Amino acid sequence: MKQFLSVDDVADPMGVAREAIQLKSNPFQYQDMGKNKTLGLVFFNPSLRTRMSTARAAYNLGMHVMVLNVSQDSWQLETEDGVIMDGGKAEHIREAAAVMGSYCEILGVRSFPTLTDREKDYSEYLLNAFARHAGVPIINMESATVHPLQSLADLMTIEEHAQNKRPKVVLTWAPHVKALPQAVPNSFAQWMNRAPVDFVITHPKGMELAPEFSGQAGIEYDQSKALEGADFIYVKNWSSYHDYGHLYQAREWMMSLDKLKNTHNARVMHCLPVRRNVVIDDAVLDSNHSIVQQQAANRVYAAQIVIKKLLEAL
Amino acid sequence: MKQFLSVDDVADPMGVAREAIQLKSNPFQYQDMGKNKTLGLVFFNPSLRTRMSTARAAYNLGMHVMVLNVSQDSWQLETEDGVIMDGGKAEHIREAAAVMGSYCEILGVRSFPTLTDREKDYSEYLLNAFARHAGVPIINMESATVHPLQSLADLMTIEEHAQNKRPKVVLTWAPHVKALPQAVPNSFAQWMNRAPVDFVITHPKGMELAPEFSGQAGIEYDQSKALEGADFIYVKNWSSYHDYGHLYQAREWMMSLDKLKNTHNARVMHCLPVRRNVVIDDAVLDSNHSIVQQQAANRVYAAQIVIKKLLEAL
Amino acid sequence: MKQFLSVDDVADPMGVAREAIQLKSNPFQYQDMGKNKTLGLVFFNPSLRTRMSTARAAYNLGMHVMVLNVSQDSWQLETEDGVIMDGGKAEHIREAAAVMGSYCEILGVRSFPTLTDREKDYSEYLLNAFARHAGVPIINMESATVHPLQSLADLMTIEEHAQNKRPKVVLTWAPHVKALPQAVPNSFAQWMNRAPVDFVITHPKGMELAPEFSGQAGIEYDQSKALEGADFIYVKNWSSYHDYGHLYQAREWMMSLDKLKNTHNARVMHCLPVRRNVVIDDAVLDSNHSIVQQQAANRVYAAQIVIKKLLEAL
């Protein structure tokens, strides 16, 4: 693996998920693989799980870790080419990415979308600028449009908890109080479309994801119909792709225990952070249906298998 | 030791202080004990000594260290149960603590009091929520009501500098320019009450600490009387417990050289940071009376013996 | 080497630059030298290259690294002696430096000038306070008046790219949009004045550096004359030393391809971050003339040779 920007960099998603599960059973089996090597984690936005799980993954492989919180520790970066840099941005991404790449063997990058300029966001200009200029492998730690480390951990978790060979997985939109990116659902849909599952997406009309991400997944506007017989329910809010960045309101889409009645004793998933009693109610999160904690714990091994594969290809 | 929330988790405070002194003489004797293990340091408030000394302690034991500055690196956490999370807080402490606990073998937590809601502060809701939900041992890195890593370092320092078997230790209130927590004096009182010392507290009338912390200590409202024959003087401001959070003003309580005259050549202690010429004057801090630097240096070994005991009990 | 505050701590600048080049060819040859030792990096100002390259240098030597962002992680420090600390500053540099020095074997310090109080800035009060009170070796990570880690990396880069025995090196002032410190040009001038090069400084009249830094260097007010036959051109803005902190404007001083015509196929240098098309135009930065990236990469080995020498002298 030469980089990890999205599922497109992964030849066999389920194969990688299974390798991650194997790694989890013995996390220190490659503890010298990263000796004398450094992973740089570059955050343009806040992070808790990704920050800690990716660092832990690197430690498990014997690497050093450096964190750069761009806005706090450093200065704003210019991403447009050809501009006269006489504004607030002190350094160009061309220099910054190349410099960071000369200090670290691998770089992780987190950068959220603007949610105001769809074309710019969906061009993945910042992630791609890093990939182009850093000179080292890039790990996507959640970009404008996808969050593949999360999706890989999600696939691992489904594989660990699946009760049958071809589980039914439903991605359901849920309410929220602020406009959120489409990165997690986009990415989850991409990975599910390449996994041995029956995948359905349910959301209010108009909340369709970009077609290049939803792909061949079935779309069902009736949430209760979609949830029938589900083995896994991935609950997640996203703001509108079509009316870009619009916060759609529909409280009745919150996940609650009664919605699980006609499921196949479904496991409920969420990438966290989750707003309790807005997105999913307490009764679900505190029940055995919830595997959100297992997903979060698997983030270490998802990151670790990715870093391992990048190290092997250095 | 299963956790380190307060002195109540310590069977023999002086015994642990002596083990810390022994560790100081050879800090790397257990340098492989923490191999492949990670200490997570979670800060809800600023820190210099605790941040650096606790990290150093973990390094001395061969651990990795991760720091999370909650407000900068991540988002605000909800601590109340059962609420509809539609405000500014994006994640519940239940999820956050459990997630951090799945990435780290031990977590340190710093969270200061509100100084406005005494009942809430003294319930230690945040520290206790971590202890309840993290699933791993918690180290108190200064909570709403106590700062046991500081107190252990203080006890070490007293033991190292004691000239007689049962020294007289005086905790004296001192002036300040802003309202400060009671955590350091509360904690110091608790530890001294369980140490082989004669312990006296002196402060202006009305500045009494909560009785569960001052315990059986003698209270003396006349500072000069209290200081007579003192071997150790612990100088510290705190805001009012009874008129909760009130900043009491009394400049004449500042520690100065002339106040040391009737002492037993007393050593002067403070947890730092100290405002010079407000809390303690320059002449004292720059004299041989001051052992504030030795206290601060001992923070490494106090943290190290705690981490060692927690690692042994994993 | 007992400290690294400026070139004055270096007996043989070019000798050290050559040792750094040797280290670069085998960065892990001393990977156990720093075992069980910790480098503390103390930032009063933002940093990207210095933060990451100095950490990487320490890792290459087997050290641990701790970062303290003073304003974010901790509180403001008082640097004046004898004051009554009843304002916004919670801790005195005397205590803070000594405490940090008790947790780390070596400390790096970054602190920019005020650009309003020249006497204070040029006294290097903060750096010198650290040197006086920390009790451990101090590495200057850019202070009010010099940036010797940068200058050492610059000298390395010149040595690596020199086509003849005594290259002509020109330091040229360049435009900018905000007032910048004199630290980088001051420091570069100091190092060049002690290196086997022909060194010329060119800038608009009135933008003279402090004489103790420019020293015996030739000053030429005509940029095109200065650049004739140059082998290396160091481009850098600085604000006025004489009209202290004043931002001088002169767009025609920007470095562009046509200015390289009468040079000896000059290599163009800059310490970064560089504002494209303000300080240097895209055509130069994206051409083979530019060695800014090589300079930045050399920061690791400049820091590493300094840390190595400090470790050897502990």
Taking the C-alpha atoms of residue B9 and residue B144, their distance in angstroms, rounded to an integer, is 17
What is the percent of chain A where pLDDT is above 70?
A: 100
How many interface pairs between B and C have CB atoms less than 8 angstroms apart? 91
Pair of tokens at residue B29: 């004797």
The predicted structure's pLDDT at residue A10: 98
Shortest CA distance from A55: residue in chain B: B66
Please check whether residue C52 touches B, CB under 8 A.
no
- Asked if residue B101 is part of any domain, the answer here is yes
Residues of C in contact with A100 (CB under 8 A): 48, 52
Residues B254 and B134 both lie in one domain: no
- Asked if residue B259 is part of any domain, the answer here is yes
Residues B105 and B195 both lie in one domain: no
Domain containing B37 equals 7-146+299-312
Residues A175 and A121 both lie in one domain: no
pTM for the structure as a whole? 0.97
Q: What is the pLDDT along chain B (314 residues), one digit of tens a residue?
A: 999 999 999 999 999 999 999 999 999 999 999 999 999 999 999 999 999 999 999 999 999 999 999 988 888 999 999 999 999 999 999 999 999 999 999 999 999 999 999 999 999 999 999 999 999 999 999 999 999 999 999 999 999 999 999 999 999 999 999 999 999 999 999 999 999 999 999 999 999 999 999 999 999 999 999 999 999 999 999 999 999 999 999 999 999 999 999 999 999 999 999 999 999 999 999 999 999 999 999 999 999 999 999 999 99
Going by C-alpha positions, the residue among C95, C98, C93 that lies closest to residue C111 is C93
The predicted structure's pLDDT at residue B71: 82
Taking the C-alpha atoms of residue A35 and residue A311, their distance in angstroms, rounded to an integer, is 10
* Sign of the torsion formed by the C-alpha atoms of C20, C21, C24 and C29: negative
The predicted structure's pLDDT at residue B293: 98
Taking the C-alpha atoms of residue C297 and residue C272, their distance in angstroms, rounded to an integer, is 11
CB C308 within 8 A of CB C30: yes
Residues C27 and C131 both lie in one domain: yes
Residues B40 and B108 both lie in one domain: yes
Q: Which parts of chain C sit beneath pLDDT 70? A: none
The predicted structure's pLDDT at residue C265: 97
For every residue of C112-166, DSSP letters joined together read: ---SS-HHHHHTTHHHHHHHHHS-S-EEESS-SS--HHHHHHHHHHHHHH-SSSS
Those of residues 234-293 in C touching chain A at CB distance below 8 A are 272-278, 282, 285, 292-293
Number of domains composing chain C: 2
Q: B181 vs chain A: nearest CA distance in angstroms?
A: 28
- Asked if residue B2 is part of any domain, the answer here is no
The predicted structure's pLDDT at residue C75: 86
The predicted structure's pLDDT at residue C37: 98
The predicted structure's pLDDT at residue C298: 98
Residues B178 and B269 both lie in one domain: yes
Give the chains touching B; criterion: ≥3 Cβ pairs < 8 Å.
A, C
- Asked if residue A2 is part of any domain, the answer here is no
Please check whether residue C88 touches B, CB under 8 A.
no
Please check whether residue B71 touches A, CB under 8 A.
no
Residues C230 and C192 both lie in one domain: yes
CA angle centred on B58, ends B57 and B63, rounded to 5°: 155
Those of residues 101-160 in A touching chain C at CB distance below 8 A are 102-104
- Asked if residue C173 is part of any domain, the answer here is yes
The predicted structure's pLDDT at residue B150: 98
pLDDT in tens, A123-156: 999 999 999 999 999 999 999 999 999 999 999 9
- Asked if residue C232 is part of any domain, the answer here is yes
Residue A222 belongs to domain with CATH number: 3.40.50.1370
Taking the C-alpha atoms of residue B32 and residue B125, their distance in angstroms, rounded to an integer, is 35
Residues C17 and C49 both lie in one domain: yes
- Asked if residue C249 is part of any domain, the answer here is yes
Residues A65 and A171 both lie in one domain: no
Residues A32 and A47 both lie in one domain: yes
Residues C156 and C259 both lie in one domain: yes
Please check whether residue A59 touches B, CB under 8 A.
yes
Mutate to test the interface with A, among B95, B132, B133, B136 (most CBs of A within 10 A): B95
Residues A170 and A271 both lie in one domain: yes
For this complex, say whether ipTM is above 0.90: yes
- Asked if residue C2 is part of any domain, the answer here is no
